Amino acid sequence: MTTAHESPAAEVRDLHIAFGSGRDGTDVVRGVSLALHRGRVLALVGESGSGKSLTSLAFMGLLPAGARVASGSVRVEGADTGEFTPRQWRAVRGTRIAMVFQDPASALNPAFTVGWQIAEPFRRRLGDSRARAREKAVALMETVGIPEPERRYHAHPHEFSGGMRQRAVVAMALALEPAVLLADEPTTALDVTVQAQILRLLAERQRAAGLAMLLVSHDLGVVARLAQEVAVVYAGRIVEQGDLDTVYAAPAHPYTRGLMDAVPEAAAGEPRLRSIAGHPPDPGRVPDGCAFHPRCAFATARCTTERPLLRTLADGRRAACHHAESVLAGTAPGGPYGGSDL
């Protein structure tokens, strides 16, 4: 269970991220609050454009050009990063909070050996001698399951398979023993058997080091392998959050339910998948009221005008839906905005 009394290793509060500035700015993340606790994995689930990747980048102070934190706060181990200078950010990245990126091919520099890149944080951040840094890097390569690390230390990224490259990227992220690990679609670029290996590695390292981990993923099966808690984002807001077991057993938000129904595994033998009609709104053109209402089978007139707040339900999870109880009970109010099965 969430240890509410312990202060989170990292958190964002009422985070708004905007592209552009001033009146023309478009909020892409619109009030997300998340707390990452030691020894726990929180999964942030959503589709393209939902703002899940931006949220994870905000934890690192690495928002892409044009994007900025418009309001809200990002805290790493209690420190408000809002006032951080670039120098302060550099001191935190890698040592307190680190990231595993989606594409291992672009996360490694093709011009340097893999070993040299894994050893770099030891040389540059800890001031280790070359020999000492090399020793530590080889040990780390062993830890993340790179066979023959002594020999492979001298290999360049192109000589590694995709899975080995991602192991190297994980090694680089873990080098300085951060407290928080952000993994943004860490296995999306990998083959399924390699994905299984990397998920096993992440689970093992997370448990061994008691890491607070944020897993950003679109894949509900991948999430089920790693996370204890899940937060579902839609159009820049969290629509449902709770224990993975609770949410997966019976989603309380129609969007979560739609996502779970759309997974082919859930259709088991049925000729048609239950898809969600329409597509997510463009940022800047988010519908009034509940952002999901044009696609929702449960939507009523109230949903078109009044934005549902994220509220705690009887079973402890939180959902931002006026009709969450009906969704759980399976009694749809229907209504004039009923979505159709496309």
Which residues contact another protein (rule: CB under 8 A)?
41, 47-48, 161-164, 191-197, 199-200, 203, 218-222, 224-228, 244-245, 248, 258-260, 262-267, 271-277, 279-280, 342
Choice between 24 and 265, CB closer to another protein? 265
Choice between 16 and 40, CB closer to another protein? 40
CB 162 within 8 A of CB 109: no
Choice between 80 and 204, CB closer to another protein? 204
The span from the CA of 127 to the CA of 336, in Å, is 66
Nearest distance, CB of residue 143 and another protein, angstroms = 17
CB 220 within 8 A of CB 254: no
The span from the CA of 179 to the CA of 45, in Å, is 22
Nearest distance, CB of residue 161 and another protein, angstroms = 5
Nearest distance, CB of residue 199 and another protein, angstroms = 7
Nearest distance, CB of residue 224 and another protein, angstroms = 4
Nearest distance, CB of residue 219 and another protein, angstroms = 6
Angle at 219 between CA 338 and CA 234, to 5 degrees: 40
Choice between 133 and 276, CB closer to another protein? 276
Choice between 32 and 42, CB closer to another protein? 42
Nearest distance, CB of residue 133 and another protein, angstroms = 27
Nearest distance, CB of residue 264 and another protein, angstroms = 4
Residues 6+ apart with CB under 8 A from 44: 34, 52, 55, 56, 214, 215, 216, 217, 231, 233
Task: Calculate the dihedral angle through the C-alpha atoms of 58, 45, 207, 120, rounding to the nearest 10 degrees.
Answer: -40
Choice between 60 and 198, CB closer to another protein? 198
Nearest distance, CB of residue 49 and another protein, angstroms = 8
Choice between 72 and 184, CB closer to another protein? 184
Can you spell out the DSSP letters for 219-236? -HHHHHHH-SEEEEEETT
Tokens encoding 268: 């088991």
- For CA atoms 250, 232, 206, 219, the dihedral sign is positive
Question: What is the 3 state secondary structure string of 302-340?
Answer: HHHHCCCCCEECCCCCEECCCCHHHHHHCCCCCCCCCCC
- Angstrom distances, CA of residue 138 to CA of 1, 148, 228, 301: 36, 9, 32, 62
Q: For the chain, how many helices (H) and strands (E)?
A: 14, 12
Choice between 33 and 197, CB closer to another protein? 197
